[in-house]
Amino acid sequence: MNLKRVVVTGLGAITPVGNNVKETWGSLVNGVSGAGPITLFDTTDFKTKFACEVKDFDPINYFDRKEAKKLDRYAQLAIVAAKESVEDAGITQDGIDKTRVGVIFSSGIGGLSTLGQEVGFYYQHLEMGPKFNPFFIPKMIGDISAGQISILYGFQGPNFGTVSACASSTNGAISAFDLIRLGKADIIVTGGAEAAITPVGVGGFNSMNALSTRNDSPQTASRPFSASRDGFVMGEGAVSLVFEELEHALTRGAKIYAEVIGGGESADAYHLTASHPEGLGAILVMQNALADAKLTPDAIDYINVHGTSTPVGDPSEVKAIKEVFGEHVYKLNISSTKSMTGHMLGAAGAVETLSCILSIRDGIVPPTINHAPDDNDPEIDYNLNFTFNKAQKRDVQIALSNTFGFGGHNACVIVKKI
C-alpha cells in the first residue's frame, strides 16, 4: 500500500512562556521559565504554591462574554491555539473541501475547573436539590475542544480527542498522521490543551507527592536530570498543529514547516503512575517510531525528552535512550522544554512536537534549564548532551519527541526537515 506523505502547514500556541508561537519559541530558545506563584486560586493550604500559568489571558479578549461562559478554560485555550494555526495554514479559503478536514484535539483531564466548581456548588447548596448548570457536561468533557473547533470552522472530517494522560496530544498527532497517510483526510488540526491548575488538580497531584514543593524558588523548581529534582511543575496551555497531505499542501501553495515521518506507541504494563525503572516501555515506543519511519537510530539529531523532573522518571528515560541509540546517543542533542513550560499534561506532546518542528526550521535546540554542575545524579550519564542552560545551534534534520503518561501510556513522534 502506498502511504501518503504528511507535512505540517500551520502552528498555534498559548503557553506559560508565550501567548502565541513567536513568543513561545522565543522564550524556549532564550531559556525563560514560565513558573511563578499561582494566581488562579488561593494556595494558602496547599503544599505547592506555584505553577506555570498562561500569563495575561482574559477570555473576553478572544470570545464574547456569552460564549466564554460556555467554555472551560482548557477549551478556551484550545480554540485560541487552533485559530492561530488555522490562520497560519490558510485553510479557511475557498477551495478547501471541509468534509476532508478533521480535528483531533486532546486533553488528559479536560474541564477540571468546571467539575470542581459544579461539585462545590452542589454540596454548598444541598437544600436546593440536584441543580446543575446545563453547560456543565459539555464544558467538562475532554473531547469538547475538538467539537468546538470543528463547529467554528465547519470542518466535517474525523473529529475526536484522545485521552492517555500526558501522552494524549502525541497519541492524537499519531492518529492524525495515520488518517492522512491512509487517505481518510486531507488536513487535520491536531493538538492538546490543559488547564488543571485548580484546587482539585494541585491538591490531587500533591496527595501523590508528584509535584515539586520548591516554593522558595519556583523558576528553578523544574530541573530535569538534576540530583535535587523533587517532582514536576504543573503547566497549562494549548498548542495546535495543522497536518496536511503533502500533494494537497503543494497544490494550494502552502508553506511547509516539516514532514511527519513516524509515530510509535506502547505500554509499560507496569504501574499506574511510575515509569518502568529500566525504561522498557520507553525503549519499545522509540523503537516502534523508528521502525515506522524506516530509520536507523543514527538518523536522529535531537530528542525532546519527556523529562519531567521526577526522581524515577528522568533516569529511566535516560536508560531507555541509551539502550535505543547505542553509541550514537553521545552525538544527540537532548533537551527537556518542561524545564521552562512546566508539565502541560495532555498538551505536553503538542508543545514538545512544536519545539522539534521549530528546531528544524531555525537550526537551534532549546535548552534544559536549571542544572548546576554540582547537582549531578550518579544514576545519570552526563556524557550525554542535555543542552543544559543554553540553546545550541545545530542543523537538525530529524527530531523525535517522547511523551509518557500515567497508566503506562507511551507515544513518540518523529519529524523531518523537508
State the catalytic residues.
166, 306, 343
H or E stretch at 349 = helix 348-362
Q: DSSP string of 235-270?
A: B-EEEEEEEEEHHHHHHTT----EEEEEEEEEE--S
Separation of alpha carbons 158 and 16, rounded Å: 30
Q: For residue 386, which of 306, 339, 332 has the smallest C-alpha distance?
A: 332
Separation of alpha carbons 244 and 260, rounded Å: 10
Separation of alpha carbons 125 and 404, rounded Å: 40
Q: Cβ(390)–Cβ(367) under 8 Å?
A: yes
Orientation angle between helical segments 112-124 and 199-207, nearest 10 degrees: 100
The grid coordinates of residue 229 equal 529534582
User: 287: buried, middle or exposed (CB in 10 Å: 19+, 13-18, 0-12)?
Assistant: middle
The angle subtended at Cα 337 by Cα 146 and Cα 30, nearest 5°, is 115
- C-alpha to C-alpha distances, 384 to 131, 231, 320, 330, 399, nearest whole angstrom: 57, 22, 13, 5, 16
The grid coordinates of residue 143 equal 473531547
Q: Cβ(100)–Cβ(31) under 8 Å?
A: no
